[in-house]
Amino acid sequence: MSVILAIAFIFCIIAGRFFWLQVVSGGQLTLRAADQWNREIPVIASRGAIYDRNGAVLAGNKNTYSVFVRPAAVEDKEYLATVLSGIFGLDKSEVYSDISKSGVSEVTVAKHASENEIQQLISYDFSGVYYSRDNTRVYTYGDALCQVLGFTSTDGSGISGLEKYYNELLSGKNGEILYATDIVGVERENAAVVYSPAEDGASLFLTIDAEIQLAAEQAMRNVYVSSGAKSVSCVVLDPQNFEVLAMVNYPSYNLNDVPRDDMQTLNSLSRNKAVVDIYEPGSTFKVITAAADLEEYLRGNTAAFSPEYVFNSSRTRSVDGTTIKCWSDHKNGKHSNQTLAQALNNSCNPCFTDIALALGTDTFYDYLSAFGFGNVTGIDFSGEAVGMLLPQSLVRNCDLARIGFGQTVAVTQLQLACAVAAAVNGGNYYVPRIAGGIVSADGTKQQFASVLKNKVISEEASELLAKMLEGVVTEGSGKNAYIEGYKVGGKTGTAQKYEDGRIASGKYVSSFVGFFPSDEPRYLALITVDEPQGTYYGSAVAAPVAKEIFEDIIAIKNISPFC
C-alpha cells in the first residue's frame, strides 16, 4: 500500500510539473524558445515635430541611424572592428571588446550615424551587422525657448520641458524587423523576414509665436547685458485666453549642444524660472489689491474705497508696531493727497496698506484665491510652483498690510501674469496653455480649447482698473513703457530680496507688467530683472524692455495706432 501511495505521490508531482510548464509558464517559455531562434532589429518611430502657432518648426528630426552587431554571426571580428572604428570614429579596441563578448546576442556599436556613414557600411556587406533609423532631434532656433521646449536623451526620450511633458504623445510606438537565426544567432538562409512597422509620434502645435518669441529673446538679452543682472525672464500672454505667446529665461543654452557633461550648469540653465521659481513681486502686486477694492466698492461694500476717495496724505502707516513707508515723497518733498489712480501712478505703499486692512483678511484672501495665488495655474508644464502664501489663520494685520503692496507673499511670474491678465481682460481667469493642439501621424488635427477657470471681478471693475493702469504709463511710474499712438497700461515693481530670512543688501528684483491696447488687451508682458547692478527701479530697468517688446509686436503684426 505504501508503494502505491509513493507512486501516486510521484505521479502527482510530475503531473503538477507538466501543468506548470505547459499551462502556467507555457506562454513565457514559448517566447524564450522563439527568442533563441529569432533576432529583432528595432524600427524606431519618428518623433513628432513641435511647431509654433503659425507652423514654423521649433523641433524636428534629421535622418540618422543606429548600428548593431550580432557577435555570433561575425566571422572576422578583428577586421570588422577595424572597419567600424574607421567609419564611425570609434576606438578599435573598445569595438573589438564589445563585439567579442560571449553570451550576448546583440550589441549597439553606434548611434546617430549619418546617411553617408551607413552607405560606407553597406558597401562592405558584413554578415551579422545591421542598422535602423533612430531620432536625432534638431532645434531650429538653438537656444530660443530652450527651457520651455526642453531636450531629449540620446535615445530620443523627453527629459525636460515640453519634450518630457508630452513625451508619450511625441514618441509614437517602435516597430521591429524579425529575422530567423540558428541557435548561435547566425541568420538562416532563405528565412522569412517579418516586418512590424513603427507608429510615428504625433506632432505638437504650440501657442508660441516664433516671431514674438525671438523679439522677446533679443530684448531680454539686451537688458541682461546692459543691467549686469543675475538673470532675466519674460512671459508674454494673450490676455483674452491666456495662451502663452512667448516665454524667455536668460542666460540660456543651445538645445543642439546640450551641456550633458556638466549637470550643475545644465540644471541651472534648463530651469523654466517663469514657471518653477518664486519671487516677492513688490508693487506689481498692487494691481490685484486695486482690483479687489474696485470690485468690493461696486458690490456695495462700505469698507472699500471709491475711485474718488482721497487717501490720507501721511507718508507712513503704523500697523502692529511696525512702520510702513512710502518709497518717496510725491511732489516737491511733500507726500500728497491722492486717489486710487494716483496711488497706482505713484506706487504708494500706505494707500494699499489701507485697502488691505479695510477689506480684511477673509475678503482679501478670497480674492487672492480667486486670482490663483497659493495654487498652480494648471499650465501644461511639469514642476510648476504654487508660490508662497501665509495660511489665512496665521495672518496678522502687519502681514495683511504688507501683502497689500506685494511683500510677505511670493509668486511665480506666470501666476502674476495670469492674475493681471484676468484683472484687465474683463475679469476672466483661464487656464494658461503652451500647447495649442496636436496632429497625429495620419494627419488628424485636434485643437485644444481654452478653459475658463473662474470669474474674478466684474467687467466694470476691470474696465476701471485698466484705465487707471493706462494712467500709470501715461503720467505715472510706468512712463518708460509709453508708446505714442498706442494705449499701453502697466505697473512697475521694485522688490528687495531676502536671504536667510533677512533683507539682502543691494539686491533687488525689478519688474514691470504691461498690456495693450489697454481698453481691449491683446498682449500682456511681465518682465523681471533679477539683481540688476546700478539702477534697480522697475520703472528704469524693466519698463523700457516691455516697450521694446510691444514695439516689436506692433511691427510684426502690423498693428495700426489706436489713438
Beta-sheet pairing, 203-206 with 50-51: parallel
Q: Is 231 within 8 Å of 251 (Cβ atoms)?
A: yes
Task: Tell me the C-alpha distance between 419 and 279, whole Å.
Answer: 15
Active site residue 102: no
In this structure, the number of other CB atoms found within 10 A of the CB of residue 23 comes to 9
Evaluate whether 177 touches 195 at the Cβ level (below 8 Å). yes
Strand order in the sheet with 193-196: 38-43, 175-180, 193-196
Q: Spell out the SS3 assignment of 344-378.
A: HHHCCHHHHHHHHHHHHHHHHHHHHHHCCCCCCCC
Would you call the peptide bond into 42 cis, given omega within 30 degrees of 0 as the criterion? Answer: no
Distance CA 419, CA 239 (A): 10
Is residue 413 within 8 A of residue 280, CB to CB? The reply is no
Active-site residue among 283, 347, 477, 518?
283
Query: Which of 454, 448, 467 lies closest to 418 in space, CA to CA?
Result: 454
Question: What is the maximum alpha-carbon separation in the chain?
Answer: 119
* Cβ contacts of 481 within 8 Å, gap of 6 or more: 473, 488, 490, 512, 514, 543, 544, 546, 547, 550
What positions carry a catalytic annotation? 283
